Structure formats: structure tokens, C-alpha cells
A and B are shown apart, each in its own frame.
Chain A
């Protein structure tokens, strides 16, 4: 029983990471109807930036903050430079661009920082388990950070004029232009925010999975499964889906399929959702007239 509770809590902690990356995916999907396959590698690159800053002697939290801002700028730049000219390109071209972006980030990370697996320091006490041995300090701390990030993002979209303008631009770009919103810049801001959220997720997961250029590959798959499960056009649903996938993954890994087959589970969820309920648990089915 204690083992079950332990797995559950650990699942919530990793679920928070998946939820953050799922939210980043959904933000870009809602605005552009494309899934950014490079989201994970962008986050990995950001995590290496944080690592380099810490190695260079920066305080841990300052390194995180700096990385978040740098990632935001990189996200905005990618939209402006790469995606803006492709705005009316066919879907397949955009998919190719995303895959190219993923490979570029992966290679740049490897070229600059090498392919060795490195430990990543955690700012939270990791040696002494908390809550009666149930949870590690890092799991608790990273869950708190991801929840804080999710709450901040929610408050931004719900309660600020800029957040409202970004939602309007995503829902109805034509009308958004008619009220004077610079839709192109809203898209770029969305990319920046998604990259910043991904950076936090990467830094939070790195102490667990260790730092290496492919560290986010699994995370991205789980996050994608979570986003689909919750509804790819529904941010709150995607967050819930991310947590759910984290818990299911941990429990199934411990009791059903074993650690080696866990990633298969993510793929099974993706296929299952697409077959049975393409709009996800909380998404709305879109009817279109022809």
C-alpha cells in the first residue's frame, strides 16, 4: 500500500512536467493548428543553458530565471524568422520545418555541450524524503513550481488584456485584426511563452532523468499523449491529461508493464485516443459544414 501511494505521488510530480509541456504544445496548437515537434528539444537546449549558467557560478534560481527569459526570446525569434514566412504553407511543409527544428536543436545541443550524460543539481533537498518517506524533496518542490507556473499562465490569459488579445487572436484571427490586434505578434508571444514554459519543465525534470541531448524525447511523447487525452484544443484539459498520464505511467510501470515498456504506454494512449475519442476527454468535437 505504501508502495502504491509512493508511485501515485511520484506520478503526480512527473505529471506536472508533462502537464507543462502539454500546455506549451496546446498553446501553439490553438493558435496555429500545428503541433510543435521541436518543443522538447527546445526545452532541452534551455536546460543546458541553465546548466551552463550554474556551472559558471550563477545562483540556481537566477540561472532558471535567466533561462526562462532567454528561452522566451528564442521562441519569439523562431516564430518571427522561421514560421512567419510559412504562414500560408501547406501542413506537410510546416511539419517538415518542425522536425528540422527538432533535429537542429538536438544537434546544436550535442555539438556545444556534448553527448555525455550529466547530473543536474536540484535546488531542493533531495536526500531526505518528506511526508513520512512518501516523496522526495525534489518531487515536492518541482510539483510546487509547475503548479505555480500553470497558475501564472492561467491568470495571465484570464485576467490581463494581453492574455485576452492572445486568446482572441487564436480563436478568430480575422476579427482580432478588425479590433486592431497585431495577430502576428500575438503568435510570436505565444511561441515565446511556450518556450519559456518548456524551459521550466526541462529544468525541473533534468535532476530526475539526468541531462543529455535526448532527455526530453520521452517527456514530449508523454506530454503529447496527455494533451491528446485531455483535448488538444483545450489548455485546462491538456494540463489534466498531463497529470493523468504521469500517474498512469508510474502505476503501470510499477504494477503492469514494467519500466521498460512504459513509453509504449504513451504511444498506446495516443493511438487509443485518436481511435476512440479524437477530441479528447475534455475537448469539444468540432463540426464543420461542407
Chain B
């Protein structure tokens, strides 16, 4: 399969000493790569660096073209939808307006309407909340809204930052069920940051293990699941 996203020697931080030290990673077309690691390992920082939200050096190629150095909005317009840490919904706006914003850069109205239908089929709960302010939704509903909004960009790559964070177990199942369907039916590639390693490795085909800003292990998700060190540290067995 062709490589959709490839980062090389990615170094980034927040003004002080760098958080990432020369990270290399890749996401295949239609594939799911999971980023695993402890708190503070640099998982969220990788997503932010890929999207141009923080200053970074190194090379990032998306669909063969360099995107490092581009402003965030230009990267989004190329088809990378980021569901950020804390979900990033527009709390003051309604569910409908949030979803309209997801497709704000698109001009193909008919396709947008179809994508909206698709997103609402994936998350039927959002239809019931249509006119409600996003800030009043439950955590699970906000996560669904954030993912649905990202899908309305019709992305080729979805960056997901801890989609299970703070959710009730039932909501986690619903969200990950939807992600699995997206992967199987729509073939959307994903780069998934997730604390829950078992959940992430179930969805992913590749995985990177991060420690203090460096990739210490990467490979097939199945292989990482069998790895003794990973099992001990992240899977609790």
C-alpha cells in the first residue's frame, strides 16, 4: 500500500527545550497507525506538529507533497482533519453550526449533504441534538460531534487525540465502533493517539511506541501486542 503521511526527523516543542527529538513515522493509505506512550511522551505534540499548530523542524510529506511549514488552515484544506485534545468543538454554537463549519471550505454542496447524512447515520444521537449548543452535550456526544465535524472535511487522514478520554465505557464503545466502521467502509486513514493501548491496537494495523519524545519501537500492531515489554507496560498482562 502507498504511504499517505510520512514524517522524518520531526523535532518540536513549545518554546523551551524540544519535546520531540527526531521522530519518524508513517501512515499508510487507508491504514491506522496508533501512537502509544505514557503521559508526556509527546503523542499530542506529534499531532500538533504535523498540523502546523506549533513550531517544528523536520520533513512531513502528505500524499507525496511537503506540508511542513504550511499554516494549519492550509493543511486542513489538503484533507487532514484533526480531532484535537479536548475535542475542540465550538461550545457556543449549535450542533448544526458545528457540522456546517466542518464543511466550510467545500463548494460541492451535493457531496456535503451526502457526507452529512453519512455522519448522522454513524452518530444518530447528533440528529436528536441538532439545535442544541455544543457546550451542553455530554462528553460522549461532544466526541461524536468532533469526529463528525472532522469527517465533513472529507479528510484523507484523520488525526485523533485520545478519543476515549473522559468518556463512559459505553460511549467509548460507541465511538470506537464508529471508528472501526469508518475504517472498514470509508477507508479513512487514521493516526490515533490513545491512552488505552488495548483499544488502540485493536483498531490499528501499525503502531509506534513513544518514550520522552522518541520512537522506541514501531511495527505491525499485532507484533506490538505480542511484545513482552509492551504487554507489561501498556496492556497490563
Binding site for B on A (CB under 8 A): 161, 164-165, 167-168, 171-172, 174-183
Contacts and interface: CB of A to CB of B under 8 A. Distances in A.
A282 to B, nearest CB: 14
B101 A165 contact: yes
A172 B146 CA distance: 14
Interface stretch (B6-14, B85-93, B179-187, B201-209): B85-93
A265 to B, nearest CB: 33
B3 interface: no
Nearest to A158: B97
A180 B51 CA distance: 11
B53 A180 contact: no
B72 interface: yes
B84 A179 contact: no
B84 A175 contact: yes
B153 interface: yes
Given A177-B73, A180-B73, A168 B93 contact: yes
A117 B97 CA distance: 49
Contact of A180 (B84, B90, B153): B153
Nearest to A162: B104
A165 to B, nearest CB: 5
A174 B101 CA distance: 13
Interface stretch (B74-82, B119-127, B166-174): B74-82
8 contacts: A165-B101, A171-B92, A177-B72, A179-B101, A179-B149, A181-B101, A181-B105, A183-B73
B30 interface: no
Interface of B: 51, 53, 71-73, 76-77, 81-82, 84, 88-93, 97, 100-102, 104-105, 149, 153
Contacts of A171: 90-93
Given A164-B104, A165-B101, A174-B53, A181 B88 contact: no
A174 B91 CA distance: 13
Given A161-B104, A167-B93, A180-B153, A175 B73 contact: no
The 4 closest A-B CB pairs, nearest first, are: A180-B105, A180-B76, A177-B72, A175-B88
A179 B71 contact: no
A180 B91 CA distance: 18
Contacts of A175: 84, 88-90
Given A165-B101, A171-B90, A174-B53, A182 B73 contact: yes
A101 B100 CA distance: 37
B76 A168 contact: no
Given A164-B97, A164-B104, A179-B149, A172 B84 contact: no
Contacts of A161: 100, 104
A220 to B, nearest CB: 27
A164 B88 contact: no
A174 B88 contact: yes
Contact of B88 (A172, A180, A182, A183): A172
Nearest to A161: B104
A178 B93 contact: no
Contacts of B76: 177-180
B81 A178 contact: yes
B89 A179 contact: no
A168 B90 contact: yes
A168 B93 CA distance: 8
Contacts of B97: 164, 168
A164 B93 CA distance: 9
Nearest to B77: A180
Given A175-B89, A178-B88, A168 B101 contact: yes
Contacts of A174: 53, 84, 88
Given A161-B100, A172-B88, A174-B53, A181 B93 contact: no
A79 B102 CA distance: 26
Contacts of A165: 101, 104
Contacts of B51: 178
A175 B81 CA distance: 11
Given A174-B88, A175-B90, A164 B73 contact: no
A118 to B, nearest CB: 44
B146 to A, nearest CB: 9
Given A171-B92, A172-B88, A180-B104, 19 more contacts: A164-B104, A165-B104, A168-B93, A168-B104, A171-B93, A172-B90, A174-B88, A175-B89, A177-B71, A178-B51, A178-B76, A178-B82, A178-B88, A179-B76, A179-B149, A180-B73, A180-B77, A181-B105, A182-B73
